[in-house]
Chain A
Amino acid sequence: MAKKWVGTSIKRKEDASMLTGEATYVDDMQLPGMLHCAILRSDYAHANIKSIDVSEARKLPGVIDIITGEDVKEYPLAAAVEFAHFDLKSPVKQAYLLAVDRALYAGQPIAAVAAVDKYIAEDALDLIQVHYEPLTPVVSMEQALSEDAPLIYEEWGDNVQMQVPSKAGDVDAAFAEADRVIKVKIGEHRYCAFPLEGRAAIADYKPRTGKLHTWISSQASSAPRANFAKTLKIPEQNVSVTVPHVGGAFGTKLNWSVETIPCLLSKRTGRPVKYVENKIETFTIGPHARDYVFNGEVACKNDGTILGVKADVMFDLGIESSYRGTAIAKCVILLKTFLGQYKIKNYSFLSRAIVTNKAFQCSYRAFGKEQGSRFIERIMNIVARELGISPEEIRLKNYIQPEEFPYRTTSGALYDSGDYPGTLKRVLEMADIPSLRKEQARLEEEGRYLMGIGIASFVQPSGSAVPDGYLNGMEGATLKLLPEGGFILSTAHCTLGQGIETTLSQVVADEFTVTPEDVRVIIGDSDKAPYSSGGFASRGAAWVVGAAVTVSRKLKEKVLRFGAHVLKVEADEVELKDGKIQVKRDPAKSVSLHELATSVHFWPGAIGVLPDEFLYTDPSLDATAYWTAPNPPVSWAAPINLYCTHPNGAEVSTILIDKETGKITVPKRFVVYDCGTLINPDIVKHQYIGGALQGINGILNEELCYDENGQLTTTTYMDYLIPGSHEMLGETVFEHQETPSPFTPLGCKGMGEAGTFCSVSSVMNAVEDALGITITKTPLKPQTVLDYVKEAMEKGTLNRRREW
């Protein structure tokens, strides 16, 4: 197939609607008779709820319904993560929409009001009286693991939701054989995405028919349908989920427990109910992300060969994470993905998910794999520094080589393709390290700024095919050729800002030799399209494009058969060109898609448009098809592969530390990124750049702080520094590489999460390059940075000789 549109940076089709206010997001919708929901949140991190008195609130004119823990007992939440075939069952027996009897974190929903407008709903919250009996909260992992820690889930006997060991090769032998064993401790604080549009849901339950229609801001439409159905005890076929435009998600819109609250209120009142969270709720209810610590040891040879790794990683989950977020799965994903681009044969790992009285966790660009990547990338630099070799050399020594693909890592991941040494060499060439070093020396001389140069590289597991539960891999699409020759592609995938209306129409256009304008893409409707797992784990370019290509080819086969029949030749004698079916040896003999489509729809039989074998079986110009990854995993215990594609890249980041203020800026970055076949290079580049700011600002400026009482003290944009234009990164010199994946139909690899992987590693490595010491504490806010500068001065590491 000739590529005409795939690979071209055409302008996005969705932009005009967003630029003019025409694009519809959940909160833009209004239904007749709609009520508004407001949620009362727990004041305490840990408390028994002795009583809730809603009598005054009920009397407020305009209040229609109020629910508390008592009312939700008959609707236990359906688990978001069910790994029934694997030994990862959540030990939590039951969880509910609202706190029942005990509040487990400050901000946890404990009651909800439905009223005729949102102002009255908020007023009613003030009239609800809750009698709490405060309990000691667990506010850190150390405390959670201590002997006398209060138990958040008493039946467990401890505060560990999950503990997964993982091993490969012979670690003891590797450590015995090593020239050096180097200890590393790295971690990250708690922060998250907080997209500009927060949670939003409208639920419309029709009591006579028992049908529930919901409009939600979500990354999936098919999965929440089952979720709502199970929790609310409505047959799934009577639940519809529509996801209109979504104002950003980044992994945080994959848990639907809070969205179920307006659904229940609608079911009880028989009226539509809207819930749009305010920003304090965004911060306090959660989900949150990161907040983990690695303690590792690396066995290596003096030449930089890594022989083995031992590590212990602990995640601070907040409250349990199988009904609300999906974060327990991160512990496993990390184990399967932390090897990065390196041939490390021996490791032993223990991954533990600890519960505390904080908001729950979910994914945030990405899902544990970014943590694994940062761990291994930091290790490479720390070990290189200890051994006195360059960070480039240590990587080249341990990389998987281009001729070794497809490559099975010791943890079971199956890497599709890439040229890791080539990517790294190219980015170093672009960055021109010697001239950066000169600049660094000049600034050092001047005295005010310390410059750092950091390199890092990464493999980005994408397009998840996590077995069992709703992360399972299955993606469908329906394609119709309309009587006037245009196409409609329907997918239940969701549009979160990735530009998929554009990229999918580019893909279909090439398959049919038409233009993207000839293809309309319908997105996010669980009723109108076949099952879609959803838009997470960078699935789009692998799974949804996979489905779009598969369905196009299925329909194309029919179209060619019909066309050949009209042209009175055999199907293998015709081809598609410029929107026409033409006879290969005599292109003058042709029928356009438009003509064919019109005839098939209006004169299928009488004048013989359709071959007989189709006329009475499948006279349509519709097709539905599914795509699934060719390498499904089988069990957690075996070395399994969780992702179907593995893009890779490398970066050089430069940073400046202002010695007076401690502020870090990032003046220039160089990026080479390879996500296989490119559909729309500009879209890839800009998503990458946006993700990089999320990653870097996250590590520098953002922090969710809980005090010793378990109160979140960062609850607005005033005290949580979401990056603004003044936090913008400096110039990014960006280059694409294209090593197609053998595992997807067009060779594309999923890329949505890419920006946060290597940006953090390269910036952290740059800070260490500037200071010559190992950084263990984040975020790198000015005061922390000043402390590190002082430490470096005391240790005399600032003006050391650098190895490259």
Chain B
Amino acid sequence: MKKTITMTVNGQIMKAEVEPRTLLIDCLRDQLGLSGAKVGCVVGKCGACTIILNGLTVKSCMMFAVQADGAEIMTIEGLAGDGELHPMQQAFTDKSAVQCGFCTSGMVLTATQLAKDHPNASEEEIKDAIGGHICRCTGYVAIVDAIKEGCKRMSEQQG
């Protein structure tokens, strides 16, 4: 039995018809066409499906779509401004933190959230923040560097 849900996604109001058991990640990707969040493990261990829901980073494979009814969601598609990368995205490319790109959208969203909450995050705090993400390519070194740099740039931007 399908249920209609309404969410604000990247600033736009969107409706979707979902089964009660439809995962939020599947609703976003398959129904709303927002495929930037990736399906890595579907058991909450890899972070590839990370989105921001009501101001918190959430693994969207761990929620049913119906639970997001009425929620405000940001996916990676909503982060960059027109024609310009967000400072955290820019830091990722500047610090060579992207290889295959499959973990990237999740990492970047978690990183922007960290920067908001802890603009001066230490290396240990950064590692903790991305502790729920898996990157199989980079060895994390460049990612940690990028997040450090991105935090700096974001706080500078806010002045």
Contacts and interface: CB of A to CB of B under 8 A. Distances in A.
A725 B101 contact: no
Interface stretch (A299-307, A422-430, A683-691): A683-691
A683 B97 CA distance: 10
Nearest to A18: B101
B102 A15 contact: no
Contact of B104 (A19, A195, A690): A19
B142 A196 contact: no
Given A248-B136, A722-B136, A196 B48 contact: yes
Given A20-B80, A20-B85, A30-B30, A693 B140 contact: yes
B121 to A, nearest CB: 13
A12 interface: yes
A20 B79 contact: yes
Interface in A369-410: none
Contacts of B137: 248, 497, 687, 690
B14 to A, nearest CB: 16
A682 B92 contact: no
Interface string A2-17: 0000000101101111
Contact of B76 (A14, A21, A248, A732): A21
A683 B101 contact: no
B1 interface: no
Nearest to B91: A19
Interface stretch (B52-60, B125-133, B151-159): B125-133
Interface in B79-117: 79-80, 85, 89, 92-94, 96, 98-105, 108
Contacts, number: 175
A31 interface: no
B98 A276 contact: no
Interface residues of B, number: 57
A726 B79 CA distance: 27
B4 to A, nearest CB: 18
Contact of A197 (B40, B132, B141): B40
Contact of A21 (B30, B36, B100, B133): B36
Contacts of B85: 16, 19-20
B46 interface: yes
A28 interface: yes
A196 B46 contact: yes
A716 B41 CA distance: 8
B45 to A, nearest CB: 4
Contacts of A718: 43, 45
Contacts of A693: 139-140
A11 B139 CA distance: 19
Contact of B138 (A11, A276, A690): A690
Contact of B35 (A16, A21, A498): A21
A92 interface: no
Contacts of B131: 724-726
B77 A20 contact: yes
B38 interface: yes
A173 interface: no
Contacts of A119: 19, 21-22
Interface string A205-247: 0000000000000000000000000000000000000000111
Contacts of A690: 99, 136-139
Nearest to B76: A21
Given A19-B92, A248-B100, A690-B99, A728 B30 contact: no
Contacts of B35: 21, 24-25, 27-28
A524 to B, nearest CB: 13
Contacts of B102: 25, 195-197, 247-248
A247 B39 contact: no
Contacts of B29: 27-28
Interface string A252-292: 00000000000000000000000010110000000000000
B88 to A, nearest CB: 9
B65 interface: no
Nearest to B44: A717
A195 B103 CA distance: 10
A245 B101 contact: yes
A694 B136 contact: yes
B134 A27 contact: no
Given A20-B36, A20-B80, A686-B99, A12 B136 contact: no
Contacts of B96: 9, 11-12, 682-683, 685-686
7 contacts: A9-B96, A197-B40, A278-B42, A497-B99, A717-B46, A718-B43, A722-B134
Closest 7 CB pairs of A and B: A21-B36, A18-B101, A247-B102, A497-B100, A497-B99, A693-B139, A28-B35
